[in-house]
Amino acid sequence: MASQPNARAPRLAKAGYHHGNLRASLVQAALKLLDEQGPTALTLRGIAQVNGVTQTASAYHFTDKEGLECAIAAVCFRELIARLTEAISVSAAPEERLLAAMRAYVLYAESSPARFQFMFLARLIGSTRGDEVKVAARTCFGLLRLLVAELVTQAGGDSESVETETLAAWSVVHGFGKISAGSLIPSQVGQLVSHDVAREAVIASFVEGLAAKLAARRSGGTVMERGHGR
């Protein structure tokens, strides 16, 4: 008697797919739809059609739309983490590493605006299905915190300074990233300086300001006093 197919396995409409590489293909399809059409295009049916498989096949991997969205948001966070990790690998100097990471953060927002805005949706990070997203988001923030800690520790700062300065650093890059991703830079600024110059100025202003503040605190003065030679 011929063996019967497993009733629980998804029916694959396209020959050559296996469960492992199908999930990867579905993820790539979802990212492409997100980039080109926005988050409303992320559906199990949509990614299934792109891959030429049944909706049941995509549901086998993500269960439902919320599961798909959480999985894609986690992928986006891991992409950002990879960008930051690559950027900081070129230097051992704390100030340069923080500068490189902040630049990479904003560049990710600029190169992948739809992904950047989607991955930070509160409904995904706060979802009961969003454990994978939470872990990836915490890892990303933790990397930024590590870089700030390197600079603060070098200057003899304490743990409270690490936490407050990490929040400040994230506020700068995330704020500018959202401005860039949404093309919200005021026209009067764009008329005076290029986008690249504006990005570098904002990031450098924070990092150099933090370094100066830490140096002044270590020597017992203030940034203003040091600037006036007192």
Q: Which residue has the tokens 């590590």?
A: 146
Mean pLDDT over 5-12 rounds to 46
Residue 131: CB partners within 8 Å, gap ≥ 6?
A: none
Q: What is the pLDDT of residue 3?
A: 46
Mean pLDDT over 29-53 rounds to 94
Q: What is the pLDDT of residue 12?
A: 44
> What digits encode the pLDDT tens for the residues 99-119?
999 999 999 999 999 999 999
pLDDT exceeds cutoff 80 at 4: no
pTM > 0.95: yes or no: no
Looking at domain 12-62, its CATH architecture is Orthogonal Bundle (1.10)
pLDDT exceeds cutoff 90 at 222: no
Give the fold, CATH level 3, of 73-227.
Tetracycline Repressor; domain 2 (1.10.357)
b/e sequence 151-182, b meaning 16+ C-beta within 10 Å: bbeebebeeebbeebbeebbebbbebbbbbbe
Q: What is the pLDDT of residue 221?
A: 60
Ranges of CATH 1.10.10.60 domains, the chain: 12-62
pLDDT exceeds cutoff 50 at 211: yes
> What digits encode the pLDDT tens for the residues 149-195?
999 998 888 888 899 999 999 999 999 999 999 888 888 887 888 99
Ranges of CATH 1.10.357.10 domains, the chain: 73-227
Q: State percent of the chain over pLDDT 90.
A: 70
Dihedral sign computed on CA atoms, order 91, 93, 94, 100: negative
> What digits encode the pLDDT tens for the residues 55-97?
999 999 999 999 999 999 999 999 999 999 999 999 999 999 9
Mean pLDDT over 204-210 rounds to 96
Rounded Cα gap, residues 186 and 29, in angstroms: 34
Any alpha helices (H) in 38-130, and if so which ranges?
A: 44-51, 55-62, 65-88, 94-111, 113-119, 122-125
